[in-house]
Structure 1
Amino acid sequence: MNPRKQRFYIAAAGVLAVIALLWSFIGSPVVLWHNHQLKTALTGLTDTSITLEQAVPFSWDEVYTFAPYTSVEEIQEVIGTTSFNLKEAESEGVLQLVFLDGGAVTAAVCAAPAALGYDVDLASAVDSTPCKLTHGENISFAVERDGGVVRLTAQAAQ
C-alpha cells in the first residue's frame, strides 16, 4: 500500500475515533441544539397561555416527564429507544423532559429549573407517572414568571 494512502487511512480512523468518543461523552449534537432552542423559546415567552405545539421550536411526536431518581434504563424502557443524552435526575425538583420525534430522542433536558430558566409541569394534564403528551393534544399551559424562571403549568381540559 502506498505510504501516503496509509497515513490518510490512519488519520481518518483517528478522526472517526475522536468523533465517536465525543459523541459518547456529550451525546447527539442535534439533541444539544434542540435543548438550546427549547431554552431560548421557553425563556422568551411573553404569552400568558400557550400550547407545547406552539412553544416548542422543533419537530416532536411525544414528550415525557419522569420522577426524580428514575434510572436511565427505566426511561429507555418507557420511551422505547436509547440515547447517550438521557440522564437520571439525582435530586428532587429536577426537570426531566424527553422529546421524541419518529421514535428517536430529539431533546433531553435534565436540570434544575433555576439553572434552565424554565419549568414545565405536565402532571396536572396527565394522571400517570411518567407523564406523556402526544403532539396534537393541544393542551393549554399557563405561563408564569417566578424569580427568573418561566413556569409552564398544564391546565386541566375543560
Structure 2
Amino acid sequence: MNNIDMQSVLKAGGIGAGVAILLGVLSFIPVVGGFIAILFLCGGFFIPVASGMLYGYFAPGKEDTATAAIGGALAGGASGILLAIFNAISTTVVGAATDSVGSGLAGGAMSGVVGALCFGIMGFVLGAVGGLVWPFIQNQMGGN
C-alpha cells in the first residue's frame, strides 16, 4: 500500500482531465455542441472510473487491491479537480460574455466551488471504483 506510483497517478489523472476538457471544449461548438454536451453528461461518470483503471495500467508491476484503489482514487480525484477548474473558467468566460461582468464572475466562482466539490468527491469515489476493478482485469489478462 505504500508503493503508490505518483507518476502513474499524474499520467492517468491528466489523461482523464484531458478527455473531459476536450469534451467540454467541443460542447461549445454550435453545430455539434448539444450532442457532445449530452454525451459528456451521460458518459462523464466513466471518465474518473477510466482514470482509476489507467492508474493500474500505468503502474509498474502487479497492483494489489488496496494500492490500486488508493491510486485510482487519486487519479480520479485529480481528473475531477482539473475538470472543475476548467468548468469554473469556462463558466466565468461564458457568463461574462453573455451577461454583465459581475454576474459572470460570481457565477463562475460559485460554479467553481460547487464543481470542485462535486467533481472532486465524485472523482475520488469513482476513481477508487476503477482502481478496484483493475486487479481483476489484470488477473484476466495474465498479470504484468
TM-score (norm 2): 0.28
More helix by share: 2
More strand per residue? 1
Instruction: Give the TM-score normalised by the residue count of structure 1.
Output: 0.27
Q: Bigger radius of gyration, 1 or 2?
A: 1
**Which structure is higher in RCO with an 8 Å CA cutoff and minimum separation 6?**
2
